[in-house]
């Protein structure tokens, strides 16, 4: 990949400028000399690298210098798969800061590997990465240092010995969108020598959002719930602002710190690693979170993600997984298209329920976008947090709390209990339903 660079002439003209305190004349000259938009933005934000004199791409990172270091190291490693090697090399050369670097990590660099969970298309383990990820280096002249022993998650991708370039393009989405603290970072790729399956090396969080709700729901107040909703909407907004779609937005792909924070993961990992997505028209996902238009075979869009967010929001507000007590089969898919949505006796403030109701509207065009949702959820959180007693949400919270205290599962313990139907499936899988009805919203009289 050829990198666009400033010429020696341009560097000579601007090398004495203070990028953070440009005069009007210097600003005008910069606009004239640096025609590439990205280079100009980098210079005005971070100035020139002391080593190579090219614009830095973050405060303590020079892409030009580090690309050279990466290229010098290319000969020292291989995954054994040409597509994987080229993918990692390309990502390293494009990295604009240390948080966007991914690398090939030999499997023997991990210790204390333990099973965590099994998903639809892979199995997740936790481990200690002995060297840890690369860290910022205040001097761009040398290779980046490492953080040292770091806890990570290893997501083993089933049947990925024949990993496809299409799948790797989806994995790249994880890297592109990592400008948000609400997205789980991908550090790189490794391979299990026993199975030859590839593994994504990810940030390790405390656990899943579903686990957090199971264990702590009763102790969560509406301030905490509305904040969780807000940060999930922030993360989804960051994904959509990059022009991307999550494609598999369900509670199992939301991780938690077991406080009031939540993090989106598995962006683009919603199908088997060896399936050519360009030739694949099948639908993969978790049925309760899949928008009705997608169930009918329409293209997945950002508004389909919004439908999934609506289901997740209802789950956070009520504590229960959607449709946990019925089979997740073609009959449920048909009912969803006819307007069925999750129901619970647990009361939700009307203002928040109205937002959720917009998210799961049968007409995708009537659903709000992720940015609008982040504003709406944040406003609710802010009014509760700052005790705005004259706000609509403040009064509704008091009313709903009074009602919910009378429910049988509102006990002194913080856990809720429920029995999941044996055919309720909350991992991604192939969804193949035929002749589903045109999506519609349920009438008030519909059961």
CATH number of the structural domain spanning residue 355: 1.10.510.10
Tokens of 92: 């390293």
132: containing domain: 77-203
pLDDT at 27: 93
What CATH number does residue 183 fall under?
A: 3.30.200.20
Shared domain check, 389 and 303: yes
DSSP string, 90-145: HHHHH-SSGGG--EE--GGGEEEEEEEEE-SSEEEEEEEESS--B---S-TTS---
217 closest CA partner among 379, 442, 411, 20: 411
pLDDT at position 410: 52
- Report d(CA 95, CA 172) in Å as an integer: 11
pLDDT (0 to 100) of residue 1:
46
Tell me, yes or no, whether 183 and 211 share the same domain: no
Question: Of 320, 288, 270, nearest to 426 (Cα)?
Answer: 288
Cβ(122)–Cβ(274) below 8 Å: no
User: What pLDDT does residue 177 have?
Assistant: 65
What is the full DSSP assignment across 209-234? HHHHHHHHGGG--HHHHHHHHHHHHH
Residues 285 and 362 in one domain: yes
Q: Are residues 95 and 239 in the same domain?
A: no
Total domains in the fold of the chain: 2
245 touches 300 (CB < 8 A): yes
* Co-location of 185 and 216 in the same domain: no
Question: Is the same domain home to 392 and 284?
Answer: yes
The domain boundary, picked from 148, 171, 203, lies at 203
Structural domain contains residue 217: yes
Q: Are residues 243 and 359 in the same domain?
A: yes
The answer to whether position 68 is within a domain reads no
- Same domain? 137 vs 237: no
pLDDT < 50: residue spans in the chain: 1, 445, 447
What are the C-alpha distances in Å from 163 to residues 169, 239, 244, 382, 396?
11, 24, 21, 45, 51
Residue 361 CA to residue 130 CA, distance in Å, equals 48
Whether the CA torsion 362, 365, 366, 367 is positive or negative: it is positive
Q: What is the pLDDT of residues 388-406, one digit of tens each?
A: 999 999 999 999 999 988 8
Last residue of a domain, one of 146, 181, 203: 203
How big is the chain, counted in residues?
Answer: 447
Minimal CA–CA distance to 47: which of 10, 15, 9, 95?
15
216 and 188 co-located in one domain: no
pLDDT digits (tens, 9 = 90+) for 47-59: 999 889 999 998 8
Whether pTM > 0.95 for this model: the answer is no
At residue 122, the pLDDT reads 79
Query: Is 369 found in the same domain as 221?
Result: yes
Residues 218, 137 share a domain: no
Task: Check whether residue 359 and residue 375 sit in a common domain.
Answer: yes
């Amino acid at each position: 990949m050829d990198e666009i660079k400033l010429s020696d002439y341009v560097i000579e003209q601007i090398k004495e400028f203070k990028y953070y305190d440009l005069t009007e004349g210097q600003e005008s000259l910069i606009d004239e000399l640096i025609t590439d938009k990205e280079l100009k933005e980098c210079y005005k934000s971070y100035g020139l690298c002391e080593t190579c004199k090219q614009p830095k791409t973050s405060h303590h990172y020079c892409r030009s210098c580090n690309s050279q270091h990466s290229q010098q190291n290319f000969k020292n490693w291989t995954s054994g798969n040409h597509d994987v090697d080229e993918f990692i090399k390309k990502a390293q050369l494009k990295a604009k800061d240390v948080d966007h670097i991914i690398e090939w990590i030999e499997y023997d660099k991990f210790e204390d590997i333990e099973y965590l969970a099994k998903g639809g298309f892979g199995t997740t383990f936790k481990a200690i990465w002995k060297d840890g990820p690369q860290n910022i280096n205040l001097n761009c002249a040398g290779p980046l240092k490492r953080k040292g022993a770091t806890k990570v998650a290893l997501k083993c991708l089933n049947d990925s010995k024949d990993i496809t370039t299409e799948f790797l393009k989806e994995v790249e989405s994880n890297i592109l969108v990592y400008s948000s603290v609400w997205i789980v970072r991908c550090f790189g790729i490794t391979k299990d020598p026993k199975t030859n399956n590839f593994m994504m090396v990810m940030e390790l969080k405390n656990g899943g959002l579903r686990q957090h709700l199971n264990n702590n729901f009763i102790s969560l107040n509406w301030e905490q719930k509305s904040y969780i909703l807000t940060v999930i909407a922030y993360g989804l907004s960051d994904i959509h602002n990059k022009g991307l779609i999550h494609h598999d937005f369900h509670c199992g792909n939301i991780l938690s710190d077991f406080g009031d924070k939540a993090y989106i993961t598995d962006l683009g990992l919603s199908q088997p690693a060896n399936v050519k997505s360009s030739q694949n028209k099948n639908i993969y996902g978790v049925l309760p979170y899949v928008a009705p238009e997608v169930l009918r075979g329409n293209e997945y869009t950002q508004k389909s993600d919004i439908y999934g967010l609506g289901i997740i929001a209802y789950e956070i507000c009520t504590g229960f997984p959607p449709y946990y007590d019925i089979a997740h089969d073609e009959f449920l898919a048909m009912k969803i298209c006819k307007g069925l949505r999750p129901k619970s006796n647990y009361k939700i403030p009307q203002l928040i329920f109205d937002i959720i109701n917009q998210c799961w509207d049968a007409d995708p065009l009537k659903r709000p976008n992720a940015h609008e949702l982040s504003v709406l959820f944040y406003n609710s959180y802010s009014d509760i947090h700052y005790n705005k007693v004259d706000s609509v949400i403040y009064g509704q919270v008091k009313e709903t709390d009074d009602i919910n205290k009378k429910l049988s599962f509102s006990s002194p313990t913080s856990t809720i209990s429920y029995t999941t139907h044996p055919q309720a499936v909350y991992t991604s899988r192939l969804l193949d339903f035929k002749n589903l009805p045109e999506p519609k919203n349920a009438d008030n009289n519909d059961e």
